[in-house]
Amino acid sequence: MAEHALSSAMQSHLVNFIGLLRSHDVRISPAETLDAMNVAATLGYAQRDRLRDGLAAALAKTPAEEAIFQHCFGRFFDQQLADFSSTREERANQAGEQEAASGPEATSVPKGAADHSAEQLLETAAQTDSDLQALLTTPLLQQLQDNDSAALNLAMGEAAASVGLSQIRMFTQKGQFTRRMLDAMGEDQLRRTLARLEQEDSPALEPLRRYRDILREQVRDYVERQYLLQAEGENARFMDELLRRTRLSNLELRYQHRVQELVQRMARKLAERHARKRRTYRRGKLDMGRTLRRGIANDGILFHTHWKRTRKNKPQLLAICDVSGSVAAYAKFLLLFLYSLQDVLPKVRSFAFSSHLGEVSELFAQHPVDKAIELVNWRYGGATDYGKSLQDFARLALDDINSSTTVIMLGDARNNHGDPQLDIMRSIYQRSRRVIWLNPESRRAWGTGDSEMPRYLSACHFAAECNNLTQLERIVDQLLKMNR
């Protein structure tokens, strides 16, 4: 292994790469980072395909993550090999073609001749111009003249580090960072000299301009690549973060697809964390210790066998969602969440109501999400009547509520001054393990106007304000934890 001992530069490279993967939503723990280091040390950097396969095995843990990995690996490690000699040659070719167009005798000029003459031009000009002389001896111009892509790349890397290019997040920052990079590399000297030469109309102007253009192009490309690397993942994450914190009612229509994805991811995460299957054994395994101990009384004869048992515990979730006009903006997301939850948790029954209530579990199970939500709204939308709806609910599900049932109520408790049927809510409260009320209105508005929230509160184990996705996630997470 020693032959491939990792240089610290390569190590930091790898760490940067892992940072990049993380920004693209691949979860990588420190332990896996160490694994990746070991992998790189074992395989070496010489064969890229091999390194890619090896790192993929250590870092990407699902096919989806592997796809992201492949994408990022290509981008990240290609950049290390960026080279401007091709650009340079093309330019030389172009120059050659231009000359070819200007006169037939130029066709025989070999490829390198354009460069050659450029250097000569510059040198002759420099003999009479001390500024130009000084400029030509700077490392930057040396690199450009010698076509030393490795050195130039290194210089760009240093400049990038000094201006903090890895912080780039927005495309609007690209110009600014390009400028700063150029300054850090000492382009201002080149620029000043050029400005002066322009006034003098010097013959050295043309070749010098070309060097400046090459430099600018290189730096621009470099910044562009960095932006693509860094910002792509970050932007998506930033967006997600923003959406999670926005009030559900304020979310714009055009973000709905994104939210849908977010909600589904959230529901899946919650379900993964909580959906541990309970196993039921009719008879568990033999508990030898207990059996022996019992046998002592019978002079060591094992008369009674003792069996270890696993307790049955099947949590059940009933979710009731208000879809009336007053909460229409929320209802869509709550239904979406319900839908996702039912998708991932085995024992969820969903109900929807406004003027009357019905079970929508079947609808959710049978239709794709958009269609299901549309159907629910169409069937149960209208003016709110909590009393009637609770009666319906009692008829449908009250018998099924027992000490392992959790009931979640999603609604604003605005009952249009009708009969709240508190006694039904009470009996639900008494029978169930837990009643949770999630109200999209802020706590201060509870009880104002036609809100019956304070009265219903007496029949809830837990009530909370819930109007953005982060709150929703936190509450449901807690709820499921308690539900174990």
Partner 1 sequence: MHTQDFPQLASIEAIEQGFESFGYICSPKIATAVFLAFQLRKPILVEGPPGVGKTELAKTTAMLLDVPLIRLQCYEGLDEAKALYEWKYGKQLLYTQVLKEKLGDLLQGAQGLAESVERLHQFGDTFYSEEFLEPRPLLKAMQQERGAILLIDEVDKSDYEFESLLLEILSDYQVSIPEIGTVQARVTPMVFLTSNNTRDISDALKRRCLHLYIPFPSVELEERIVLSRVPDIDRQLRHQLVEFVHSLRDLDLKKSPAISETIDWARSLLLLHARELDAQVIQSTLNVLLKFEDDINTAESALRELLPRPAHG
Binding site for partner 1 (CB under 8 A): 1, 27, 29, 31-32, 35, 38-39, 42-43, 49-50, 53-54, 56-58, 60-63, 66, 272, 276-277, 279, 281, 285-286, 288, 292, 300, 302
The residue (of 340 and 471) whose beta carbon lies closer to partner 1 is 340
Round to whole Å and give the CA distance between 372 and 340: 11
Q: How far is CA 170 from CA 110, 165, 177, 189, 427, in A?
A: 44, 12, 11, 29, 55
Least distance to partner 1 from the beta carbon of 347, Å?
16
Least distance to partner 1 from the beta carbon of 155, Å?
35
Least distance to partner 1 from the beta carbon of 267, Å?
13
Round to whole Å and give the CA distance between 168 and 166: 5
DSSP classification of residue 462: E
DSSP classification of residue 277: P
The residue (of 27 and 192) whose beta carbon lies closer to partner 1 is 27
Q: What phi and psi, each to the nearest 5 degrees, are found at residue 307?
A: -115, 135
Least distance to partner 1 from the beta carbon of 251, Å?
28
The residue (of 276 and 444) whose beta carbon lies closer to partner 1 is 276
Least distance to partner 1 from the beta carbon of 222, Å?
31
The residue (of 50 and 191) whose beta carbon lies closer to partner 1 is 50
Least distance to partner 1 from the beta carbon of 366, Å?
19
**Burial track 209-234 (b if 16+ CB lie within 10 A, e otherwise):** ebbbebbeebbbbbbeebbebbbbbb
The residue (of 62 and 108) whose beta carbon lies closer to partner 1 is 62
Residues 350 and 338 sit within 8 Å (Cβ to Cβ): yes
The residue (of 119 and 261) whose beta carbon lies closer to partner 1 is 261
Amino acid identity, position 205: L
Q: What phi and psi, each to the nearest 5 degrees, are found at residue 347?
A: -110, 65
Least distance to partner 1 from the beta carbon of 83, Å?
26
Amino acid identity, position 420: P
> What DSSP string describes 4-28?
GPPPHHHHHHHHHHHHHHHHTT---
**Burial track 259-276 (b if 16+ CB lie within 10 A, e otherwise):** bbebbbebbeebbeebee
Least distance to partner 1 from the beta carbon of 7, Å?
20
The residue (of 123 and 261) whose beta carbon lies closer to partner 1 is 261
Residue 351 neighbours by CB distance under 10 Å: 23
Round to whole Å and give the CA distance between 12 and 193: 38
Q: Which residues pair with 358 in a beta bridge?
A: 352
The residue (of 50 and 304) whose beta carbon lies closer to partner 1 is 50
Residues 190 and 140 sit within 8 Å (Cβ to Cβ): yes
The residue (of 53 and 158) whose beta carbon lies closer to partner 1 is 53
Round to whole Å and give the CA distance between 259 and 265: 10
Least distance to partner 1 from the beta carbon of 272, Å?
6
